[in-house]
Amino acid sequence: MTLDSLQLLFFKNYDEASLRLSPGLNCFIGDNGSGKTNLLDAVHYLSLTKSAITASDALCIKQGADFFVVKGNFSSEKIVGHETIQVSLRLGQKKTLTHNKQPYERMADHIGRYPAVLISPYDTDLIRQGSEDRRRYFDSLMAQLDHEFLELLMAYNALLRQRNAVLKRGDQPTHGFDRDYLLALDEQLAPIGQQLTILREAFLGEYVPIFQRHYQQLADGRELVTLTYKSQLLGADFARLLRNNERRDFALQRSTTGSHRDDFVFLMNELPVKSHASQGQQKSFAIALKLAQFEILATKQQHKPLLLLDDIFDRLDDKRIARLLELVADETFGQVFLTDTNLERTDQALARVAAPILRFRVQDGTVTPV
């Protein structure tokens, strides 16, 4: 699967851009702040219908405009001709997503069709930040692989929002605490939460050996790295937990137990990576997470995801860059999108790569082939 062309209109710092892309490597060269990463984010939009950088779609509209459009043409051996995906947003309206000009009934139906993996220097935030970031990362990966999981997650989150709204209304004299409605929500929430736990635990059992292999190849270290799944629901009855925590939930006006509290714990020699690993070890850990993500997506979906490499030459050391480029040269990856600030450095790094390479100069929101 390849992205053959990319078109932008009022997206971030671009008024307009139109690119014909290589099925091999696409290198975006420019100074920091020129808009290189924004091009990768546009590709991310076409894959996952959202930005990899900001939680707000509205922030992706160019200043002074009132809408943005990101459009791409995909092709593969399974596609006759090409498929056109377009994501657009107008201020004050809902985001729209179309496939060959036909709107999706639900954006969730698009997830997993055009997988992508982003490797960024900021991936170590997964280690340093809180459980929400790690949970979001693994949920996003599982959603691309398993629509049953995605449907369950969406249903769980919708019920959780309703439950929290009931808890928040409980202290308002004009509304009062509707316990019957809360119990009805709990009856629906409990089996979904239990199933999410089962699926997350099973996925991690498959993912961890792949991750460990990639870490050892990257780090050449003797340390043992692993991931453990932490959930209040493991070996527990979620319905009973909800009943037992009802008074506490009412006092705090939020649901204090459930799948939304799960975490994925990163360990090195049985100690937390966040506090006991060096900066280099954390970088290897984060890259290994993404390489395992790429491999499991490629294996399950039987085609290679798009690979987005953002500023790896500036932020990663030579050893880790060399390992990534070995994988590129060995054609482990399919289509690659890469950003850098130095064209000469990029050319030297990619000298062993046999795949076709296109280079683009990015400057102040303009993109031109080199």
Do 82 and 63 share a structural domain? yes
Amino acid 172: pLDDT:
55
Do 111 and 206 share a structural domain? no
Strands across the sheet containing 263-268: 225-230, 263-268, 271-272
pLDDT, tens digit, 9 for 90 and up, residues 57-113: 999 999 999 999 999 999 977 766 789 999 999 999 999 999 999 999 888 999 999
Whether residue 86 is contained in a domain is answered as: yes
Find the domain containing 326 and state its range. Answer: 1-115+305-370
Whether residue 211 is contained in a domain is answered as: yes
Count of domains in the chain? 2
Residue list, annotated binding site: 30-37
Least-confidence region, from 60-69, 199-208, 352-361:
352-361
Distance CA 11, CA 95 (A): 13
Do 162 and 101 share a structural domain? no
Amino acid at 327: L
Residue at which a domain ends, from 251, 271, 301: 301
Bridge-based pairing state of the strands 225-230 and 263-268: antiparallel
Whether residue 231 is contained in a domain is answered as: yes
In degrees, rounded to 5, the angle at the alpha carbon of residue 199 between the alpha carbons of residues 194 and 200 is 95
Amino acid 218: pLDDT:
86
Amino acid 87: pLDDT:
97
Question: How much is the mean pLDDT over the chain?
Answer: 92
Residue list, annotated binding site for ATP: 30-37
Please report, for the domain that includes residue 352, its CATH number. Answer: 3.40.50.300
pLDDT beyond 80 at 329 = no
pLDDT, tens digit, 9 for 90 and up, residues 105-135: 888 999 999 999 999 888 999 999 999 999 9
Amino acid 171: pLDDT:
57
Distance CA 59, CA 51 (A): 10
pLDDT beyond 60 at 173 = no
Whether residue 363 is contained in a domain is answered as: yes
Residue at which a domain ends, from 267, 301, 335: 301
Amino acid 326: pLDDT:
83
